[in-house]
Amino acid sequence: MKTLEDLTSIEQMEADTAKLKEIACSVCAETWEDRNKKQTPHCKFGEDGICCKNCSMGPCRITPKASRGICGADAHAIAARNYARTIAAGTSAHSDHAREILHILHGTKAGGNYQVRDDQKLIRLAQEYGVPTEGRDIYDIAHEVAEVGLMEFGKPSGTQRFIKRATEERQQVWREQGIEPRAIDREIATTLHMTHMGNSADPEALVRQGLRTSLSNGWGGSMLGTEITDILFGTPTVRTTEGNLGVLEKEMVNIVVHGHDPAFSEMVVTAAEIKELVDYAKTKGARGINIVGLCCTANEVAMRHGVRMAGNFLQQENAILTGAVEMMCVDVQCIFPALAPLSECFHTKFVTSSPIARIPGSIYVEFKPETAFDQAKDLIKMAIDNYQKRDTSKVFIPSTKQAAVVGYPNEQIIKHLDGVTNSHVDRIGSYRPAIDAIKAGVLRGAVAIVGCNNPRVRPDYSHFEIMKELLQNDVLIVATGCAAQLATKAGLLTKDAKYVCGAGLRRVCELVDIPPILHMGACVDISRMMLLATGIAKDWGVKTTEIPVVGCAPEWMSEKAVSIANYVVSTGIDVYLGIEPQVKGSSQMMELITQGTRNIVGAGYIINKDPHELVKSILEGLEAKRAALGI
Ligand code: SF4
Ligand code: MSK
């Protein structure tokens, strides 16, 4: 039985960080806390989004005495252009990740480094795409599906194929509002074009294009990333793991995989199981090889292999500061360049692997699909050889860790709900049992808690407070990304965590045999959440705007998060933010993102830095939706 006292508190996490910070001082290493201090106060123009450097007449900044840039762009135009560019960058990151994964699928072959692991999902996607499957070799189907998927990036006409998965109502809204997403690269290019010097100065037009671009991510790139990753490495299933720095092992070769693209980490995880390498590690005096994850790569490998998670975004330096990491291998996104100089203070080998994320001071090993497995083996050997260089006098591994149950993609959620249908055939394979619980009031609704952590607020505190309060108020949580990792570190991803919930949610957890927070994956997997909300709306027979389901990103920081927030809003789901988007210098933009989008897509942002106030608004929002549905 778990009570609030059994959870790992933020204070405990901070105490571990403080000890690691002492080690940083002792080796004269700088961490994000030091750099954050030097960057505070932040540039007000940047914070408010009213600095433009889109041409070399600038930079232009809006001040009380200069209400327009040299070209005449005002605060609203500048803030809107910056905001739209942020969405384009976020969309490009998620979508380019998906493109890489599609190329891997295109290169799959029987017996190759990369193979098809989920045949059924591939066949379903092939059928959705109209790719013939009857009597064909699975790899011929995979290659054709990859080609169709790759065309989603640059096809000259038409809209994203996956939008057909949305409710009829959403498809109609997107069509009527002129924001149906076309080719992914086209939406990104159009946004950059619109924001080029001398083009759009109308905030509403830019916000609309931002919504459209984000849809090419959520219902395009990200959804492709998730689908193809499942096909290649298997659709995640429920499994147990552990989380926080305590998963590093004093007597083992510790290798941290960090980033987002599982094509690299999958190879490292698989190679680490080879007996020859495990035996080699033993010859060097280690008990074995311990692979752990950081950020979203951690989520990917935890959901498919049970690999343990060392922590989330702002914990990446802490892992190296333990002095017990032989190697940190990174792929793309959310990687601090600071890891290179930091790793030099220890014996840690810092390895970059992608041309997309080149970092000075790292060992660059460009990962190639054809040689991936051999490269992974070589890296593991390099890490093993590094084990004896560990300076044991510098090692401090906090003992803090918690058990976790992870791996709840939509298929697993449905499977668990099927277990409580009591043979009601009409309910099998649907979200109806969950809808019934919401209608009965046992559950008040569901919240998707997603996103990063961020020094602008006390790291992880908002996540933790919001999660606890929602659970106590009988709100089921689904989580991805670094938010899901906070839940892991806290101990909220165990079935025992039902004891911190209200009576209604506790009963649901017992009946369905689930933890009160369902780990749905990495940040690219928020596309799974869009399908979840869509499935609930379809099974309920109402609009996505009507269901008591909302999104919440209390500590977001990345451009990807802005793209995500926009596609969630475009899907008709309100998004509660704990960090203000950088548009405060424009009253029109503040109005547009909180109210204006409601006239376009029926949803918008609610922003509050205070986590308790934010929870209050979320609960009010859920209750208002319930009342509107008459429940
Ligand atoms: Fe200044 Fe206009 Fe150039 Fe922006 S586009 S830098 S506001 S002149
Ligand atoms: S890793 S985007 S800090 S969730 Fe996806 Fe975490 Fe945010 Fe990166």
pLDDT digits 0-9 by tens, 444-483: 999 999 999 999 999 999 999 999 999 999 999 999 999 9
What residue's CA is closest to ligand 2, atom 7? 452
How many residues can be counted in the chain? Answer: 631
Q: How far away, in angstroms, is 78 Cα from ligand 1 center?
A: 8
Does the domain formed by 4-35+239-394 have CATH 3.40.50.2030?
yes
Q: What whole-number percentage of the chain has pLDDT above 70? A: 99
Q: What does 205-223 look like in DSSP terms, one character per residue?
A: HHHHHHHHHHHHIIIIIHH
Residue 558 CB–ligand 2 contact under 6 Å: yes
Task: DSSP letter for 112, please.
Answer: S
Q: How far away, in angstroms, is 570 Cα from ligand 1 center?
A: 30
H or E element at residue 127: helix 119-129
In this prediction the pTM is 0.97
Q: What is the pLDDT of residue 426?
A: 73
Residue 560 CB–ligand 2 contact under 6 Å: yes
Q: What is the pLDDT of residue 423?
A: 61
Q: Which two tokens stand for residue 42?
A: 């932040």
Ligand found nearest the CA of 454 = 2
> For helices 262-271 and 222-233, what crossing angle results, to 10°?
20
Q: Which two tokens stand for residue 15?
A: 């105490």
Q: Are strands 475-480 and 517-521 parallel, antiparallel or unpaired?
A: parallel
Residue 372 CB–ligand 2 contact under 6 Å: no
Q: Which two tokens stand for residue 245?
A: 């720095």
pLDDT band at residue 9 using 50, 70 and 90 as cut-offs: very high
Mean pLDDT of 139-162: 98
The yes-or-no verdict on residue 366 having pLDDT over 90 is: yes
Q: What is the pLDDT of residue 58?
A: 95
* Nearest-angstrom CA–CA distance, 527 and 533: 10
3-state SS assignment for residue 256: strand
Q: How far away, in angstroms, is 40 Cα from ligand 1 center?
A: 26
What residue's CA is closest to ligand 1, atom 7? 69
Question: Can you name the residues that pair with 446 across neighbouring β-strands?
Answer: 476, 549
Q: Which two tokens stand for residue 613?
A: 């106030």
pLDDT digit string (tens) for 320-362?
999 999 999 999 999 999 999 999 999 999 999 999 999 999 9
- As annotated, the residues of the chain forming the CATH 1.20.1270.30 domain(s) are 47-233
Q: What is the pLDDT of residue 1?
A: 58
The answer for residues whose C-beta is within 8 angstroms of residue 599's C-beta and 6 or more apart is none
Q: Which atom of ligand 2 is nearest to the CA of 334?
A: 8
Q: What is the pLDDT of residue 330?
A: 98
Mutate which of 45, 55, 62, 195 for ligand 1? The one with the most ligand atoms within 8 Å of its CB, which is 55
Q: Backbone dihedral region of 607: left (phi > 0), alpha (psi from -120 to 50 degrees) or beta?
A: beta
Q: What is the pLDDT of residue 3?
A: 78
Taking alpha carbons only, the member of 440, 418, 405, 436 closest to residue 514 is 405
Q: How far away, in angstroms, is 452 Cα from ligand 2 center?
A: 5
pLDDT digit string (tens) for 196-254?
999 999 999 999 999 999 999 999 999 999 999 999 999 999 999 999 999 999 999 99
- As annotated, the residues of the chain forming the CATH 3.40.50.2030 domain(s) are 4-35+239-394, 407-628
pLDDT band at residue 155 using 50, 70 and 90 as cut-offs: very high
Backbone angles phi, psi at 149, to 5 degrees: -60, -45
Backbone angles phi, psi at 585, to 5 degrees: -75, 0
Residue 553 CB–ligand 2 contact under 6 Å: no
- The architecture (CATH level 2) of 47-233 comes to Up-down Bundle (1.20)
Q: What is the pLDDT of residue 6?
A: 87
* Nearest-angstrom CA–CA distance, 138 and 149: 16
Q: What is the pLDDT of residue 419?
A: 84
Q: Which atom of ligand 1 is nearest to the CA of 69?
A: 7
Q: Are 579 and 457 in contact (CB under 8 A)?
A: yes
CATH number of the 407-628 domain: 3.40.50.2030
Q: Which atom of ligand 2 is nearest to the CA of 558?
A: 2
Q: What is the pLDDT of residue 428?
A: 80
Q: Give the binding-site residues of ligand 1, using a 6 Å CB cut-off.
A: 52-55, 57-60, 69-71, 73, 78, 197
pLDDT band at residue 420 using 50, 70 and 90 as cut-offs: confident
